[in-house]
Structure 1
C-alpha cells in the first residue's frame, strides 16, 4: 500500500488518533521498546550476520482463504435455513414435502448462484493477487552492516534503499467488523519512505494483541542493533500462525477455556463452515511456491563488509536509546517515557 502522507518523518513517541484507530510510532530513530522480542514469522530462517529478510507469512493467506470459504458457506446456509423454515411451515400446514422449498431455493435459483459466483470471483481475484505478490516481489531485506533496508516497489523497477534510522514503524489498535461481529484489531505497520518523491510503501503485519505487534518490531530492531543473538528463538509450528499445528493448538485452547456448547457453536461450527484446516494447507502450499529472487544490485548490496566498513548508529539514536533505557530501568513504559519528555518540553516552552 502506498501513501504520500509523510513529507516530514514522524518521530518515535508520536501518538496519532483517528476515528477508527490509534497509532503509536516506534520509529524513525528506532529506540528500545522494553518488551521481549518475539516473532511469529520465524525470522531465524531467513537471517545471517549480514542481512535478514522479512515478508508476510502464511497467516495472511490462511485468513483470506478462510474468509472466502466462510462467506460462500454463510450464503448457502442463509438460504438453506430460510428454505427449511418455510418448508417446515408448509409441511405442518399443508403436508408438503419438508425439503421442497430448500431444493427450490438452492438448486435452480440463478440469483443465489449468481451472488455466490460474484463473491467467488472477487475472492479468487484477491487470492491470486496475493499469490502474485508473494511470488513476484522479493521480501524486505534488512542489512545491519550497512544499516539500510532494501525493497523492490514494482517488478521491473530499480530497488530502493532506505536508511535504517528513517524507517517508519508504528503499532495500531482499532476496531474491525467481520462476519462474526466487531473485534479489536492490532497490527505492526512498517513504512519505507522514498525521500526523493515522498511516497511511503507500507507492510502491515496483523497481530493478536498490541504487545505482540511491539514484540514483532522489537525482533527486527534487536537484530539491526545487536545482531543474530538478539533474535528470538525460532518458534515451532504450533505457534506459527496459519499452520495446521497452530489451528489445532487454538482449537484445544478454545475447548479448554469454554463450555462445551460454546466450543461447538463458537469454534467447531464456524471453523467447519470456513474450511477447517483446508485454508492452512493452501497457505502452506503458497509458502512453498518459488519466489522471485532479488535483482543483482540488491545481491551485491547484501555481500558482507569488513568490520571497519560497517556503518555505525548516529549520535542522536544513541542518545535517545540511552534516555529510553534509563526510563525503562525506572519501571516506566515507552509511552510513559515519551509522555514525560512531552511534559518537560511543554514546560520549557511555557
Structure 2
C-alpha cells in the first residue's frame, strides 16, 4: 500500500520546469494548471468519486489483486518465521540467537505494517477536489508523534521514515552472524580457547549490531521522555491554482535490480508553515499515464462546477464499488448462475486466493474506518454544493493561458513544444 500524505520540505517549481535532484527527474505541471492536450483518463484505483459526488484521491489502492498480493507476501513472511523454528528445532540451542533476531525483524515489520495501516485508514482523509470552491481539501495532523525508525525506509503513521545507509544495514547483518557464531563456540566443549573466541565474536557482533539499533534506542528514549501530546486534526482547503503538481521519474538499481518508477505528486502549501508542504503522491506506470491523469483532474476542476457529468471523470461516478463484500457476494451469484458446472472450482479458487478477505480488508479501510472522519462537520461543509453566485472563478491569467495553449494545440504543437513553454513562462512573469 501507499500512504499518500506526508510533510515535505520541497521548494515549488514553476510550470513546465524540468530539474533532476538526487537522481529523480522532476517535471512541473502546475501551478498554472493548463491543459496538456492529453486524453483525460484514469486507470489507477486510487481515484474515486465520494458520496458527495466529488473527485477524491484515496490513500489505499482498491484493486483486489494488489491486496491479495499483500496478503500472500505477509503469509510468506509468517511462514518463513514459523518454518525456521521448525527446521532448526533439533539444533534450536545452536541457532537460537539468529532465530530470535530474524523473528524480531520480520515479525516487527508485519506488526508495524498492520498498526500503521489501521491508523492511516482511521485518521487520513482522502484528498477532495471541489470545482465550485476551486480548491483541494485534506486533513493535516499537527503535534504528531515521533517518526519510527526503519531499516529500508517505509511510510509510517507519523510520516515517511528514511531508510538506513547501506553500511549500517551491512553492519547489522554482520553483527547478527558474528553473534550466532560466537554463541555456537560457547556451546562447544568446555575449552577456554572456544570460550574466549566466542566472547570476542559476540562482543564484536554486538558492537556492529549497535549501529542499526541505535535509532531505535533513541526513538524509545524520546518516546518515554516527551510528554504525551494530543494530536490536532486540521482540515485545510488550498486553492487549486496554488497546488504544485510534479511528475517524478526515478530509475535506480535497488536490492532486487533495476527499478523505474513514476509518481504524480500534488504539493500543497500549509497555512502558517513556510518550510513544510503537504505531499499527495500517486504511483503511475508511465509519463503518459501521469499526464493523462493530471488532465482528468484538471478538466474536472475547470468544468466540474455544474457537476461531474460535465467532465471526463463522469464515468468514475457510474463505477460500482467492486471492492466490498456485497460485490463479492454478487459476483458469486453471477458465477453460480452463468457457470453452475464450474462454479465449485471457481469458488474453491477464490477461497485459496483469499479473495473474500481482500474484499473485507478493502471495505474496512475504505468504508468502515474512514466513516467517522468523512462525517465530520468540516468535511461535510466543504463537500456541500454552493449557490452559483458563490462559485470561485478561474483566474484571468489561467483562462488566458489556456486559450493560448489550446490555439497552439489546434495547429499541431504539443505541451512539450517550446512555443507552449514560452506561454507558461509568460504566465510566470505575470504572476
TM-score, with structure 1 as normaliser: 0.68
Instruction: State how far apart, in whole Å, the 2-side matches of 1:182 and 1:76 are.
Output: 31
Whether 1:201 aligns to 2:282 is no
Partners of 1:44 and 1:233 within 8 A in 2:
no
Work out which of the residue numbers 13, 18, 21 in structure 1 matches 2:16: 13
Task: Tell me the residue number matched to 1:141.
Answer: 128
Work out which of the residue numbers 393, 402, 406 in structure 2 matches 1:312: 393
Partners of 1:147 and 1:164 within 8 A in 2:
yes
Work out which of the residue numbers 46, 49, 53 in structure 2 matches 1:45: 49
Partners of 1:47 and 1:53 within 8 A in 2:
no
Instruction: State how far apart, in whole Å, the 1-side matches of 2:419 and 2:77 are.
Output: 43
Instruction: Note the residue ranges of structure 2 that are not aligned, 5 or more in a row.
Output: 1-5, 142-230, 329-351, 427-431
Partners of 1:194 and 1:200 within 8 A in 2:
yes
Partner of 1:220, secondary structure, is: helix
Higher Cα Rg, which structure: 2
Whether 1:296 aligns to 2:283 is no
Task: Tell me the residue number matched to 1:336.
Answer: 417
Task: Tell me the residue number matched to 1:56.
Answer: 59
Whether 1:233 aligns to 2:237 is no
Task: Tell me the residue number matched to 2:291.
Answer: 214
Work out which of the residue numbers 112, 131, 151 in structure 1 matches 2:99: 112
Partners of 2:243 and 2:266 within 8 A in 1:
yes
CA 1:105–1:325: 2 relative to 1, 3 Å: farther
Instruction: State how far apart, in whole Å, the 2-side matches of 1:300 and 1:45 are.
Output: 17
TM-score, with structure 2 as normaliser: 0.57
Task: Tell me the residue number matched to 1:4.
Answer: 9
Q: CA deviation at 1:103?
A: 6.4
Whether 1:181 aligns to 2:168 is no
Q: CA deviation at 1:276?
A: 5.8
Partner of 1:332, secondary structure, is: coil
CA 1:114–1:42: 2 relative to 1, 3 Å: closer
Partner of 1:13, secondary structure, is: coil
Instruction: State how far apart, in whole Å, the 2-side matches of 1:11 and 1:160 are.
Output: 23
Instruction: State how far apart, in whole Å, the 1-side matches of 2:393 and 2:271 are.
Output: 21
How big is each residue's C-alpha offset from its partner over 1:320-344, in whole Å with a ceiling of 9 and x where there is no partner?
2222223333333322247752999
Greater shift after overlay, 295-304 or 281-290? 281-290
Instruction: State how far apart, in whole Å, the 2-side matches of 1:307 and 1:42 are.
Output: 30
Work out which of the residue numbers 127, 130, 135 in structure 1 matches 2:117: 130
Partner of 1:158, secondary structure, is: strand
Partner of 1:117, secondary structure, is: helix
Indicate the RMSD between aligned Cα atoms, in angstroms: 3.9
CA 1:3–1:212: 2 relative to 1, 3 Å: same
How big is each residue's C-alpha offset from its partner over 1:286-339, in whole Å with a ceiling of 9 and x where there is no partner?
334331225423422332221122111001111222222233333333222477
Q: CA deviation at 1:189?
A: 0.8
Instruction: State how far apart, in whole Å, the 1-side matches of 2:293 and 2:381 are.
Output: 28
Instruction: Note the residue ranges of structure 1 that are not aligned, 5 or more in a row.
Output: 81-99, 246-274, 346-350
Partner of 1:335, secondary structure, is: coil
Q: How many residues align?
A: 290
